[in-house]
Amino acid sequence: MPSVYLIGFMGSGKTSIGKLLSAKLKMPFFDTDELIIKKAGKTIPQIFNDSGEAYFRGLESAVISEIALAKNGVVSVGGGAVINPDNWRQIQNSGTTVYLQWPLEVLQQRIINDKNRPLVSTAAELKKLFETRQNNYKKADVTIDCSEGMSPEQIVDQIIKLIKR
Ligand code: S3P
């Protein structure tokens, strides 16, 4: 089976859902943020602080190229990665893209106090970022309309059903 890329805003559960999905599909799991941390030897806030967002995005693109060219599995993709058209092309050409769509209010509640996400500031800033990214996320092959009542297992089952179509 081709790789499955989970995309969507911060807090949408790409990592936790991705791990469950990889176990069910018996495919390896990759997380672009984890690979960036390994490459840099620093946390994401440290990378942003020491070298800025542009440097972070460079590492992110390098990690995506490595995965797209040489790896097959379930991939959790950092929320800002798909904004870069070159990243998007590589992702799209090497697997199926799945957008985990949640209402903004749910995402805001989950991430508003998260110190590990440098792009999180005020609720108003998050709303702006969320809105500007919608068109990118909506290009995914499959959109999962998640709501608070859905369990991770239900989301995973829905993903499997839709990617096998
Ligand atoms: C970012 C999302 C984060 C991480 C970085 C920037 C973004 O990943 O890559 O903090 O631009 O939305 P998650 O989507 O896994 O939180």
Residue-by-residue DSSP string for 116-135: T-TT---HHHHHHHHHHHHH
DSSP label at residue 83: G
Question: Where in the chain are the domains?
Answer: 3-163
Q: Which residues pair with 31 in a beta bridge?
A: 76
**Positions in the chain short of pLDDT 70:** none
Q: What is the phi/psi pair of residue 65, to 5°? A: -60, -45
DSSP state of 73: S
For the CA of 11, the closest atom of ligand 1 is: 16
Tokens 């500007």 correspond to: 132
Among 59, 74, 102, 119, which residue has the most ligand 1 atoms within 8 Å of its CB, making it the best to mutate?
119
Handedness of CA 68, 70, 72, 73 (dihedral sign): negative
Nearest CA to ligand 1 atom 8: 78
CATH number of this structure's domain 3-163: 3.40.50.300
